[in-house]
Amino acid sequence: MKRIILMVIRLLYIAPYWFIKLLHMAGSDQYSWKEKYDFLRLITVHANRAGRVVIDTHGIENLPEKDGYIMYPNHQGMFDALAIIEGNPHPFSIVMKKEVKDVFFLKQVFQMVGAIPIDREDIRQSMQVILQVAKEVSEGRNFIIFPEGTRSKMGNKVQTFKGGSFKSAMRAKAPIVPVALIDSYVPFDRNTIRKTTVQVHYLKPMYYEEYKDMKSTEIAAEVQHRIEEVIAANSKEN
């Protein structure tokens, strides 16, 4: 909470203008996804700096040259999106929990990236989301899906990845990009404003040819393993 307050205080001179513009852009069709994403990224970069958070991005060159892929990060908290957006110049959408889709401000941010809400308790609606994401990915949109289903509350320790999270990629035959987040829980979970660094590692993609004969649970286990290896090699907790 202290860091969020710091961000707000240090950006008071420009925040009202950004907020009004965000509301306008979120509800307008006159802007492209790229224009909306670039503006959101501008806000994110300044917010992170104001909050004394350094984003250390690795492996951006591993992202496929052609759009139409899905990134699968471990989930540590609300700061995850800020960490990924700052270092990633390529627009993406996100699958989010339905519980946050109507939260003021978050609602507008999600509109900016065309986020899709999912109700994990509703099997029929979840299947519709899988099909919708697969369709949009096939048409060239990039997505983020958090395969743990919910955030980890154990620091850099990863929870079990769910096989169902990978069904959209399988259906679209899309590249799967593992993303390792390290210390992304620190900025908002720790009651401090000390300067901190969050690491974002984009791993080499798994292309359809590599996973076409695998079950969704096997893909989930493999992606989780690759992410855990990177976390183990780079986390100061280890």
The three-state secondary structure class of 179 is strand
- pLDDT for the residue 41: 96
- pLDDT for the residue 74: 97
Q: Which residues is 157 bridged to in the sheet?
A: none
CB-based burial of residue 91 (10 Å sphere; 0-12 exposed, 13-18 middle, 19+ buried)? buried
Contact 18, 105 (CB under 8 A): no
37-51, 72-86, 101-115, 183-197: least confidently modelled range: 101-115
Contact 230, 203 (CB under 8 A): yes
Between CA 86 and CA 198 the distance in angstroms is 11
**Is the pLDDT score of 238 beyond 60?**
no
- pLDDT for the residue 194: 93
- pLDDT for the residue 109: 87
Contact 168, 61 (CB under 8 A): no
**Is the pLDDT score of 101 beyond 90?**
no
- pLDDT for the residue 130: 94
- Give the torsion sign (CA, 48, 22, 42, 90): positive
| Interacting residues of 232 by C-beta distance below 8 A, sequence separation 6+ | 238
- pLDDT for the residue 154: 86
- Encoding tokens for residue 68? 């139409």
| Residue 237: pLDDT band with limits 50, 70, 90 | low
In this predicted model, which residue has the larger pLDDT, 169 or 121?
169
| Residue 48: pLDDT band with limits 50, 70, 90 | very high
| Residue 187: pLDDT band with limits 50, 70, 90 | very high
Rg (CA), the chain: 17
In this predicted model, which residue has the larger pLDDT, 192 or 53?
53
2-234: CATH topology is Glycerol-3-phosphate (1)-acyltransferase (3.40.1130)
For 142-186, the pLDDT digits (tens) are: 999 999 988 888 889 999 999 999 999 999 999 999 999 999 999
Query: What pTM, to 2 d.p., does this model score?
Result: 0.93
**Mean pLDDT in residue range 103-108:** 77
| Interacting residues of 156 by C-beta distance below 8 A, sequence separation 6+ | 76, 182, 183, 185, 231, 235, 237
**Mean pLDDT in residue range 98-106:** 74
Between CA 35 and CA 42 the distance in angstroms is 11
139-to-49, 119, 125, 201, 233 alpha-carbon distances in Å: 35, 24, 21, 26, 36
- pLDDT for the residue 122: 84
CB-based burial of residue 52 (10 Å sphere; 0-12 exposed, 13-18 middle, 19+ buried)? middle
What are the residue boundaries of the structural domains of the chain, listed by start?
A: 2-234
Contact 86, 48 (CB under 8 A): yes
Q: Which residues is 136 bridged to in the sheet?
A: none
**Is the pLDDT score of 18 beyond 80?**
yes
Instruction: Name which of 184, 179, 228 is nearest 201 in CA terms.
Output: 179
Between CA 21 and CA 215 the distance in angstroms is 44
For 50-84, the pLDDT digits (tens) are: 999 999 999 999 999 999 999 999 999 989 989 99
